[in-house]
A and B are shown apart, each in its own frame.
Chain A
Amino acid sequence: QKEVEQDPGPLSVPEGAIVSLNCTYSNSAFQYFMWYRQYSRKGPELLMYTYSSGNKEDGRFTAQVDKSSKYISLFIRDSQPSDSATYLCASLNRDDKIIFGKGTRLHILP
């Protein structure tokens, strides 16, 4: 079982909709969780990070971690065509290495 898993998509939603992106992780010892955004033919860039459980909000983006179910979520409100990208969830393992999911491709339809 891969340590961090996510549905590859693609996920297509109309502009303005709320987007929900999800990941699961296998190791209950993971404490730090991140979301990276990757535009086509670009390198990933950090969107948000959270520590342990709970929510973190930054503008239209909300990251949520549920440690009891080992579930990581990213919500995007008022989605825009410029949000179309691949979203990678990630966690920091006990060796301080970032373990990435394979990414979910998101298309926001104008």
Chain B
Amino acid sequence: DAGVIQSPRHEVTEMGQEVTLRCKPISGHDYLFWYRQTMMRGLELLIYFNNNVPIDDSGMPEDRFSAKMPNASFSTLKIQPSEPRDSAVYFCASSFTYSLSTYEQYFGPGTRLTVT
């Protein structure tokens, strides 16, 4: 398997523009997670899906952020409008959790977002 695939790997945009980040989870995984990583705040969970259904979006910072998972092999994280403070590395991760004792998430390579 190719692992979790994210695109683009780098995104530079101007404040106010819409940004869409994409993720393809590992085939067969039923959980998908979106994280944001910054030096100041570390790795933060934004939202996660189970079987394409959003379960917990309490980490989404504001209404400017939205996420969708239209099918088992694709998810998007959208920021509209983007602001400089959104600059971070955004990770997508997936897992197949059948018991808590083997709770392992597989992370993609991340999208480095810079908003100027």
Interface residues of A (CB under 8 A from B): 32, 34, 41-46, 49, 51, 88, 92, 95-98, 100-103
Contacts and interface: CB of A to CB of B under 8 A. Distances in A.
16 contacts: A32-B100, A32-B103, A41-B110, A42-B110, A43-B107, A43-B108, A44-B43, A45-B106, A46-B105, A49-B103, A92-B100, A98-B45, A98-B103, A100-B44, A102-B42, A103-B42
Contact of A51 (B56, B91, B101, B106): B101
Contacts of A34: 103
B113 interface: no
Nearest to A99: B45
B43 A45 contact: no
Contacts of B100: 32, 92, 96
A43 B103 contact: no
B56 A42 contact: no
A42 B103 CA distance: 20
Interface string B37-67: 0000111110010000000100000000000
B42 A100 contact: yes
8 smallest A-B Cβ distances: which pairs?
A43-B107, A102-B42, A100-B43, A46-B104, A44-B107, A43-B91, A43-B108, A43-B110
Interface of B: 4, 41-45, 48, 56, 91, 93, 100-101, 103-110
Nearest to A95: B56
A92 B109 contact: no
B113 to A, nearest CB: 14
Nearest to A31: B100
Chain A CB within 10 Å, residue with most, of B48, B107, B108: B107
B105 A98 contact: yes
A85 B106 CA distance: 17
B69 to A, nearest CB: 17
